[in-house]
């Protein structure tokens, strides 16, 4: 199975979007978006925004993808101008090294103002297809905050099962602690 990128989709709000591999020019946009999500403190374990080198080590070591808004002018004389902003992004990489590298992990972010438009589901479906095409045999999400119900619902609808619960794994900004879930889906 081979996935031909880019992929195109019309979002729920009518915006045209394009999913493709992340380019070097996208890195700072994606880092800024990730840092917004980190500061929100509801889905990623980091406390402080990531520097360029921290971001590169975390997000870009293997495969990274972006969703961008596409201008209605695409394909016209203006050279297919794309909106410069990143609507969402995800990475895909082995969850473990060596003998366990057939199990992958992925991380996802969506612009806060565009959540609920189908970007997360589209990226999730694309990730599953890409992971399968790359020969991964399963996907594991190691640390899904139990309070992140939109994400949990999405992954369950895409065939993921909860295979573990880590009690009080997450310390939220207000000092409260919540559990984290380990989610799994076979790609076979």
Q: What is the per-residue pLDDT across 168-187, written as a single tens digit (0 to 9) for each?
A: 999 987 889 999 999 999 99
Helix (H) or strand (E) run with residue 161 in it: strand 161-171
Instruction: Count Cβ atoms within 10 A of the Cβ of residue 162 and give its class: 0-12 exposed, 13-18 middle, 19 or more buried.
Output: middle
pLDDT at 113: 94
Strand partners, 89: 66, 109
| Whole-prediction pTM | 0.92
Q: What is the CA radius of gyration of the chain?
A: 17
Predicted confidence (pLDDT) per residue in 134-176, tens digit: 999 999 999 999 999 999 999 999 999 999 999 999 998 788 9
Separation CA 7–CA 56 (nearest Å): 24
Residue 152: strand, helix, or coil: helix
Helix (H) or strand (E) run with residue 39 in it: helix 27-40
Separation CA 142–CA 1 (nearest Å): 27
C-alpha distances out from residue 2 to 38, 104, 130, 135, Å: 33, 18, 8, 11
Q: How confident is the model at residue 1 (pLDDT cuts 50, 70, 90)?
A: low
Predicted confidence (pLDDT) per residue in 56-107, tens digit: 999 999 999 999 998 753 443 334 444 458 999 999 999 999 999 999 999 9
């Amino acid at each position: 199975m081979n996935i031909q990128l880019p992929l195109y989709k019309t979002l729920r709000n009518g915006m045209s979007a394009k999913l493709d591999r992340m380019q070097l020019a996208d890195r700072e946009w994606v880092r800024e978006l990730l840092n917004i999500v980190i500061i929100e403190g509801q889905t990623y374990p980091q406390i402080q925004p990531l520097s360029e080198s921290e971001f590169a080590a975390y997000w870009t070591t293997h495969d990274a993808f972006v969703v961008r808004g596409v201008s209605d002018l695409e394909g016209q004389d203006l050279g297919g101008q794309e909106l410069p902003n990143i609507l969402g992004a995800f990475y895909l990489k082995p969850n473990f090294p060596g003998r366990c590298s057939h199990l992958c992990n992925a991380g996802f972010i969506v612009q806060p103002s565009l959540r609920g438009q189908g970007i997360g589901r589209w990226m999730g479906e694309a990730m599953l297809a890409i992971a399968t095409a790359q020969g991964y045999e399963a996907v594991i999400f190691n640390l899904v905050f139990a309070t992140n119900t939109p994400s949990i619902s999405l992954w369950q609808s895409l065939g993921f099962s909860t295979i573990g619960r880590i009690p009080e794994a997450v310390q939220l900004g207000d000092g409260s602690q919540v559990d984290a879930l380990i989610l799994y889906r076979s790609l076979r």
